[in-house]
Every structure is written in structure tokens, then in C-alpha cells.
Amino acid sequence: MKTLFSAFVDEARLAFSDLGILIIMVLAVVVYAFVYPVPYLNQVLRNVPVAVVDQDRSSLSRRLIRMADAHEAVRVAGEPDSAAESERLVRSGAVAGVIVVPRGFERDILEGRQARLSAQIDTSYLLTYSAALTGMLESAGTMSAGVEVSRWRARGMSQEAALRARRPVGLDLRPLFNATSGYATYVVPAVLLLILQQTLLIGIGMAGGARRERASTRSAAPIDAGGHPIAQVLGRSIPYLLLYAVNAVYYFAFIPRYYGYHVPGVASAVALLTVPFLLATVFLGLALRVLFSRRETAMQVLLFTSLPLVFLGGFAWPVEAVPVWLHRAAELVPTTAAIPAFLRVTRMGAGLADVSREAGLLWALVALYFPAACLTESINQRRSRHAPRATLGVYPSN
């Protein structure tokens, strides 16, 4: 009990008197919640520039151009005269695509033949491509439907019957949960979990490195080389659990309201998921300290891991497409189970029963990383008992 308390005090002093650690565990947590969503704040892409090569110059071709321009996804940014000119526009990136209206377009329609438009769309940016494609398909489709319906009506059919005859089977597409299909509400909730995890792992690693640097100098404290590992790990985890309980409230209660994606009535399920998520992450952080002999090593080594981890969380890239072995390995990292579970609870209103598998996984990680953290503690204690006492500045560089 005495070890637990002095380990708690020592860890709190190590972490919270270190400006570098505070920057990561407090400032970065606060600021990143505003920085990461910035690119996506406009939510959807509008008015992608496209060009139209009008070889028909008829009233119907001009109507098509007006319809495309009026579509919210695209705008007609140019009407080049030749195919060569339009190719130059696409290659240089001035427009995302070109529609070619061939000569005879109006005549074909009036004479009841199928009129064929051709479109070339730049695929080098996927969202731009799909916006241009949607705009072009829907403009052509709307005009096509108008032509067909007016033909049916010319035969004396009612508007409604004409619409039915056009489409023997209808399709009603209804979005669930993210009705506006916004990009920010898609990215932000998942990335927040990753920020919590990565700042915890890096901050704990830095404090661990700092402790080992201290242990190898004359200013070593008795707490570095003794005390029961279990009491040490429990005591040292408390400062981080307290700080991140506050951070979690900020991320799961304040930020969703700020960005307007808050769903009421999920607080208890979120809290019940947050407990194993934070415990697993803190114990993983304490276990990883076996690797870091220096204060800054944790940051250098762990920084890159967030890139693959984003795509292993199942929101940006479907789990079904990740190789099974890699997904299993990634489940050793808390965010892999936590991201889908938190998304379903906070964005879709799933209950705890619906995320029981993920919650079980997170508790399994707690059970795995607590003994691992104790092992790290006893290894590091042994190291510092045998460490040569050096003065600052002359130990071997890494």
C-alpha cells in the first residue's frame, strides 16, 4: 500500500512536471480535436469543374449543359472546341472530366434513336471522380427520363403511369445513422479514439524513459529499484487514468456536441466501454516501457504507428478486406476493437449487448497487459539496480 501510494506520487510528479509530456497528454489532446476535422468541415464536395464539348450546338445539347451546370456536384467550367483542347484541360487538372455531346444528338432523340453521350473522367482523386460521375450521370439520366416520359405521355398515358412504365422495379435508398453522409462525422469519432490511445502510449513511454534516465544517474530514487511490481503498476497507472477520464469526458461529451453529431442516451454504454479501453491502453503503455531507455524514444518509435492503425480500425477500410492474420494481430491494439464499438454505440445507438464481443476483447487486453506491465516493471527495476551510476550527458548515445 505504501509502495502503491509513493509510486502514484512519483509517477504524477514525473509526468505532470514535464512540459513535453503535458504538451502531448493535454495540449495535443485538446488541439487535435479541432485540427483533425478541419479538412472535412465542408462535409461534402460540391461544384467540381467539368468541361463540355458541344459538337451538336442544338437546343437540346444546350439544355443538357444547363442541367449539368445546375447540378450541385458539378459546374461547367469550360466549353472547349476540340478533343485535344479538352484533353489538355483534364491532364493539367483544370477540370475533372469532359462530356462530349456528339453531332446528331438532338436529331437522334427526336427520331426515337438512342443518343449516346461520352464522358471522360479523371480518376486521380477518388472523391472528385465520384462527384463528377454522379453529376454527369444524374444530368444525363434526368434528361433521359424526361424524354421517355414525354414519349409515353404522347401516347396518352398519365404522368404517373408513364413514370411507372419507365422503371418496372423501383429502388428506395435510405441512409442509416449518418443521414447527411458527411465526411467529418465519418472520420472524427474514430480518429478521436486513436488520438486518446496514441497520446497515452507516447506520454507514458516518455515518462518511463525519463524514469530510466533518472535511474541511471546519481539522482536515482529508491522507488526506481524497489517496491512490489503489482503495487508499482497500480500506483503508476492512476495518474493517467484520472487525466484520461477527464479527456474522455471532453472527447465523448463535449466534442460531439460541438460538431453536432451528439446522440443522446448513450452515456452509460460509452462509460462502460471507456473503462476497459483506458485500462488496456494504460497497461499497454506501461508494458511498452521495457523498450524505452530514453525520454524521447517513445515518441520517435510510436509516432508512425497511427498511420497503419487508422486503417486497421475498420472505418476507413472495411475489416472484411484486411487479411485475417493482420486483423487478428491488430486486435492486440485497443483501438482495433474500440473504434467499431464506439462508432456503433455513439453513432448508431447500439446497446451494450450489441458490442459485447468488442467489450470482451478489451477486457481480455486488460487481462493480458496488466501482467505484462508488472513484468516490465520488474525488468526495469533489475536494470536500474545494476545500472552504472553515470552523470548526465556522458552515457552512450542511442
**24: contact with another protein by CB under 8 A:** yes
Reduce the DSSP state of residue 211 to 3 states and report it. Answer: helix
Task: Rank residues 4 and 270 by Cβ distance to another protein and give the closer one.
Answer: 270
CA dihedral 340, 341, 347, 352 (to 10 degrees): 160
Task: Rank residues 97 and 235 by Cβ distance to another protein and give the closer one.
Answer: 97
How far is residue 240's CA from residue 12's CA, in Å, rounded to a whole number? 8
* Residues numbered 334-373 forming contacts with another protein, rule: CB under 8 A: 340, 343-344, 347-351, 354-355
Task: Rank residues 7 and 95 by Cβ distance to another protein and give the closer one.
Answer: 95
The 10 Å Cβ neighbour count of residue 128 is 20
With a CB cutoff of 8 Å and minimum separation 6, the contacts of 124 are none
**154: contact with another protein by CB under 8 A:** no
223 beta partners: none
Task: Rank residues 331 and 354 by Cβ distance to another protein and give the closer one.
Answer: 354
171: its cell numbers:
429502388
Task: Rank residues 2 and 155 by Cβ distance to another protein and give the closer one.
Answer: 155
Contact segment (CB under 8 A) with another protein among 8-16, 76-84, 139-147, 217-225 equals 139-147
How far is residue 79's CA from residue 50's CA, in Å, rounded to a whole number? 9
With a CB cutoff of 8 Å and minimum separation 6, the contacts of 171 are none
**265: contact with another protein by CB under 8 A:** no
Give, in degrees to the nearest 5, the angle at Cα 166 between 163 and 168.
105
How far is residue 142's CA from residue 147's CA, in Å, rounded to a whole number? 9
Query: C-beta of 316: minimal distance to another protein in Å?
Result: 8
- Which of 257, 320, 386, 388: binder of another protein (CB under 8 A)? 320
Query: C-beta of 83: minimal distance to another protein in Å?
Result: 12
Work out whether strand 74-78 and strand 97-101 pair parallel, antiparallel, or are unpaired: unpaired
118: its cell numbers:
461520352
The 10 Å Cβ neighbour count of residue 189 is 21
Q: Which of 214, 360, 335, 316 is nearest to 278 (CA)?
A: 335
Task: Rank residues 1 and 320 by Cβ distance to another protein and give the closer one.
Answer: 320
Task: Rank residues 2 and 304 by Cβ distance to another protein and give the closer one.
Answer: 304
- Which of 6, 9, 20, 69: binder of another protein (CB under 8 A)? 20
- The count of residues in the chain is 398
Contact segment (CB under 8 A) with another protein among 78-86, 119-127, 229-237, 367-375 equals 119-127
Query: C-beta of 303: minimal distance to another protein in Å?
Result: 5
**322: contact with another protein by CB under 8 A:** yes
* Residues numbered 45-64 forming contacts with another protein, rule: CB under 8 A: 45-46, 48
Contact segment (CB under 8 A) with another protein among 5-13, 227-235, 241-249, 296-304 equals 296-304
